[in-house]
Structure 1
Amino acid sequence: MEQQFNRRHGATSRTFSLGQFVLAKDYRDGVEKWTAGRILQRTSQVTYDVEVQSSVWVRHANQLRPSFQPVTVPSNRVISLDVLLDTFDLSQDVSAAAPNPEAHPPSTCTSRR
């Protein structure tokens, strides 16, 4: 009987493996969105513990989607200007970067009204 229901209604079984990257439905702030996470463990046939940022969410398999990109944590690394200038073979000449006001004369715009 269950197989007949699944065939008629297009139900698919969803299983996720430990450590798999997923998108989890996020119900915070009254706005539905998807948040990147990682499967920690399977707690029943259809529920999983998902690590999202620094917390653990319990989600039904219908509230999870496979993700093919690992969870990224933004870094606060700062690259010095010298490294960037050397990488792109640029000079640090400040006078060349300053705009010349005479190069672009003011435009004469008039109102349509």
Structure 2
Amino acid sequence: PVPATPIAVNHKQNEQFNRRHGAVKREFKDDDLVYAEYHHRNIKSWIPGRVVERKGSVNYIVQLDLEGRQRIVSSHVNQLRPRYDAEVPDQVQQRLPWEILIEEARPLLLADQEE
């Protein structure tokens, strides 16, 4: 057998690691809503923010909303999570009233009680 080049070995190891550990490629665009991991006084919390700019392949400039004050921080992609707007359009609320959701869940709840 022909010995593999170091580059090929490294590529293969990366593929195996990503398959085993579930590495997920995350990317954000400017103005995307995110939660950013924020450390203050040795306390970690997730703060709502907005991506201002991408810096390199894994770093982002993020504007955080800290209790009404705006703060700009640099965050690694692993310190960011997507945030979705909590407002639901009226059309969606009309299509999925609570009665329908309860009726759909009732057979599942009854099946759980029988077990």
**Same fold by TM-score greater than 0.5:** yes
CA deviation string 1:5-42 (max 9, x = no partner): 21111111110111000000010121111000000011
CA distance in structure 2 between the aligned counterparts of 1:37 and 1:23, rounded to whole angstroms: 6
Aligned to 1:35: 47
Q: Name the structure with the higher helix share.
A: 2
After TM superposition, list the pairs within 5 Å mapping 1:17-56 onto structure 2.
Answer: 17-53=29-65, 54-56=70-72
Length-normalised TM-score, structure 1:
0.58
The unaligned stretches of length 5 or more in structure 1 are: 71-113
Equivalent runs, 1:67-86 vs 2, <5 Å: 67-69=83-85
Gaps of 5+ in 2: 1-11, 87-115
Match of 2:22 in 1: 10
- In structure 2, the residue matched to 1:59 is 75
The CA distance in 2 between the partners of 1:34 and 1:25, in whole Å, is: 5
Runs of 4+ in 1 over 6 A off after TM superposition: none
**Cα displacement (A) at 1:69:** 2.5
Scaled by the length of structure 2, what TM-score is found?
Answer: 0.57
Letter in 1 for 2:79: Q
SS in 2 for 1:32: strand
RMSD: 1.3
- Structure number with greater Rg is 1
| Residues in 1 aligned to 2:74 and 2:85: alpha-carbon distance in whole angstroms | 21
- Amino acid across the alignment from 1:61: V
